[in-house]
Amino acid sequence: MANKNLDKAYFISFCIEQYKMHVSATGVKVMELFDRYGVTNYLWDNFEVLHTQGHRWLMADIDAYIQGKEGAR
């Protein structure tokens, strides 16, 4: 179980770094955005499916997830 949690943590770190470049933001700004919309929990809970995708697909998925959350406000 510890290895699975470590894999998830590495995956989330990867997503944060990729998203920083995707939106040209700092890590702090990305973490604020991820916290506001629950993106980190989404990535953690859906790791099994998401970690098999490429980074472009992941960025588009995160964008769609955030937009869906913004629309719900």
Residue type, 4: K
User: Is the predicted pLDDT of residue 63 greater than 80, yes or no?
Assistant: yes
Tell me how far apart the alpha carbons of residues 31 and 35 are, in angstroms, rounded to a whole number. 6
CA 64 to chain centre: 11
pLDDT tens digit string along 1-38? 679 999 999 999 999 999 999 999 999 999 999 999 99
Counting the structural domains of the chain, the total is 1
pTM of the model: 0.91
